[in-house]
């Protein structure tokens, strides 16, 4: 499969967030024009928060065709929305309360059920929006992923059996920091996306970025992100890209 990897390096976290928000605007306008809707899946953690805040402010606020937007999560910790560890809770605070969408356009993962049930329920919710049976995989228009220090993405952690999941769209797992039960989209769903953007910032992520992009082994979850037909964009700030060789940086 041809390497369809694009690497964009920004000076700092502020311009990284702005470029990420611009990618949402352009993908949303293109998707809504082509299909009448824009399906976005966001990650949790701290990196995407500045970008999320940009989505809830001008100019993004007036550029995105909100009536066609559906927002999903890549993963969620099974904690209440008011818990600081809740990805949905943080997104609600950072931008969901500011964007002009109806509640049925926002699709938080169901954390109030036993995790296995929650995973099945979320697959049903995704299916109701994508209107496809269980045998295909939903093709999100844009998925944002973070990168863990250990090379994890979403809640897909190294060595976990969920990495071999070939049928389920959503899985119940446990691990990470905080080490709690989680729901996560699976690799077949992530790799079905039209656009996947890794958003990575900070010096502490430089070793993981180098290992994932230049390492010999291919066993880290982040290295298993290989979109079947979509675009793969690594959006890095200089610190996160600081250990990459020049050839990788220049593509």
Based on the shown chain and the rule CB under 6 A, indicate whether residue 47 belongs to the binding site for ligand 6PG. Answer: yes
Out of 68, 89, 138, 148, name the contact with ligand 6PG by CB under 6 A.
148
Q: Residue 45 Cβ, how far from ligand 6PG at the closest point, in Å?
A: 3
Based on the shown chain and the rule CB under 6 A, indicate whether residue 44 belongs to the binding site for ligand 6PG. Answer: yes
Based on the shown chain and the rule CB under 6 A, indicate whether residue 94 belongs to the binding site for ligand 6PG. Answer: no
* DSSP 3-state percent helix, strand, coil across the chain (nearest 5): 40, 20, 40
Indicate the burial class of 167 (C-beta count within 10 angstroms; 0-12, 13-18, 19 or more): exposed
Query: Per CB under 6 A, which of residues 171..190 are in contact with ligand 6PG?
Result: 176
C-alpha 178/C-alpha 197 separation (Å) is 24
Q: Residue 155 Cβ, how far from ligand 6PG at the closest point, in Å?
A: 6
Based on the shown chain and the rule CB under 6 A, indicate whether residue 74 belongs to the binding site for ligand 6PG. Answer: yes
* Contact stretch for ligand 6PG (CB under 6 A) within 122-130, 149-157, 230-238, 240-248: 149-157
Quickly list DSSP for 116-175. HHHHHHHHHHHHHHHT--TTS----SEEEE---TTS-BTTB-TT-GGGG--S-SEEEEEE
Number of residues lying near ligand 6PG (CB under 6 A): 16
8 Å CB contact between 42 and 70:
no
Site residues (CB under 6 A) for ligand 6PG? 43-47, 74-75, 87, 146-148, 152-155, 176
């Amino acid at each position: 499969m041809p390497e369809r990897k694009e690497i964009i390096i920004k000076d700092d976290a502020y311009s990284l967030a702005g470029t990420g928000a611009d990618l949402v605007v352009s993908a949303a306008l293109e998707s809504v024009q082509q299909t009448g809707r824009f399906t976005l899946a966001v990650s949790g953690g701290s990196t995407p928060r500045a970008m999320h805040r940009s989505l809830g402010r001008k100019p993004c606020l007036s550029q995105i065709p909100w009536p066609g937007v559906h927002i999903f999560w890549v993963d969620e910790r099974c904690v209440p929305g008011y818990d600081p560890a809740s990805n949905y809770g943080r997104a609600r605070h950072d931008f969901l309360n500011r964007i002009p969408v109806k509640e049925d356009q926002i699709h938080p993962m169901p954390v109030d059920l036993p995790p296995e049930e929650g995973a099945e329920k979320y697959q049903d919710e995704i299916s109701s929006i994508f209107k496809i049976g269980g045998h295909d995989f939903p093709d999100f228009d844009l998925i944002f992923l973070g990168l863990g220090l250990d090379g994890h993405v979403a809640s897909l952690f190294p060595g976990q059996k969920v990495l071999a999941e070939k049928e389920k769209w959503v899985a119940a797992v446990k691990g990470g920091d905080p080490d709690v039960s989680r729901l996560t989209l699976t690799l077949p769903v992530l790799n079905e996306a039209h656009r996947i953007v890794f958003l990575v910032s900070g010096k502490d992520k430089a070793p993981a970025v180098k290992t994932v992009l230049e390492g010999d082994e291919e066993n880290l979850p982040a290295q298993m992100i290989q979109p079947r037909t979509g675009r793969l964009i690594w959006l890095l700030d200089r610190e996160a890209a600081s250990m990459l060789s020049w050839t990788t940086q220049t593509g």
